[in-house]
Amino acid sequence: MIFKEKFTINAKYIPTPSKRRSGIPLPIVKFLVAHDTGNPGSTAADNVNFYINTRNAVPTASAHLFVDDNQILECVPALTGPPEKAWHVLYKKPKDNELFGANANDAAIGVEYCYGGSIDANKAYAKYVWLLAKLCFVFGLDPAEAITGHHILDPERKTDPVTGLIRSRRSYGQLLKDVVSEYNDCTSRTQIVILGLVEQAGEVKTALKLNVRASPNTNSAVVEVIEPGTIVAYNALTKQGMQVINNSTWYRKPNGNWFWSGGVVKE
């Protein structure tokens, strides 16, 4: 199964090690936490730049991804690199353990919704819904069961993402339904026919910063960027992808996306 790549995910990481980004791997992703920024009019770039500029400040709150009407921006790796922990829900709150058997910071991706001001609510919401559906697909989660709101995990202090959604003329219940619909839409399209497809599993190491694309050609959208020296698994290949520097071999990741073989070395 493949996932419809409607939007590009950009990366601008908080430096590590720092208080906002420890660099500690996220060993498993069991669920997603929907947030909003609580700061009407602030963009994804505004929030990520604030995190970067205050990376050693206290308190040490952070999140993985910010979404506005212009972009999806990842500041703690989740989709554009091996997932790491972010500090987006307080420890010692019992609800995450009751619902999912784990603390959110240890087993969840935090996604922040930007709203208000000059942000186009329709465009931002479309990206937000798609991103939550995309995360469910990549991490093998049920979109009907694996999403919760910050307001549910910490009801005494937090109202997000309800506040941001209301400002955008939506409700939390609608968000959950829309993510399921988006997931179904993005996974049910007619499968792209890949010429010369060979089912073959293995691992390679990236030799340079590697773009991962929705299909085996450089005209396809970049959906992930992998840093040099990263071990990447694949489950198929084709030697009939777009030719780049006289090399037309591309590998398919288990999530259905593709990367050019010229950017990797066999392990």
Are 116 and 214 members of one domain? no
For residue 172 the two structure tokens come to 């939390």
| Structural domain includes residue 62 | yes
| Structural domain includes residue 2 | no
Are 54 and 183 members of one domain? yes
**Residue among 248, 259, 235, 224 nearest 1 (CA):** 235
Q: In whole angstroms, what is the distance from residue 249 CA to residue 190 CA?
A: 23
Q: In whole angstroms, what is the distance from residue 129 CA to residue 240 CA?
A: 34
Domain encompassing residue 71 = 9-187
169 close to 123: Cβ distance less than 8 angstroms: no
Dihedral of alpha carbons 207, 211, 212, 216, sign: negative
pLDDT for residue 192? 60
| Structural domain includes residue 3 | no
**Intervals of the chain under pLDDT 50:** 189-190
Distance of CA 158 to the CA centre of its chain: 23
pLDDT for residue 153? 98
| Structural domain includes residue 225 | yes
pLDDT for residue 190? 44
Q: In whole angstroms, what is the distance from residue 140 CA to residue 255 CA?
A: 9
207 close to 228: Cβ distance less than 8 angstroms: yes
pLDDT for residue 189? 47
Are 229 and 262 members of one domain? yes
Residue 212: strand, helix, or coil: strand
Q: In whole angstroms, what is the distance from residue 9 CA to residue 161 CA?
A: 21
pLDDT for residue 59? 85
For residue 256 the two structure tokens come to 């259905």
9 close to 85: Cβ distance less than 8 angstroms: no
Are 21 and 58 members of one domain? yes
Are 174 and 227 members of one domain? no
Give the number of other Cβ atoms within 10 Å of residue 57's Cβ: 13
Q: Choose one of 187, 214, 239: the last residue of a domain.
A: 187
Are 182 and 204 members of one domain? no
User: Can you list the positions of beta strands (E) in the chain?
Assistant: 9-11, 31-36, 65-67, 72-74, 108-113, 147-149, 198-206, 210-213, 222-226, 231-238, 250-252, 258-260, 264-266
Residue 201: strand, helix, or coil: strand
Are 152 and 133 members of one domain? yes
Are 119 and 160 members of one domain? yes
pLDDT for residue 221? 67
Q: Are strands 65-67 and 72-74 parallel, antiparallel or unpaired?
A: antiparallel
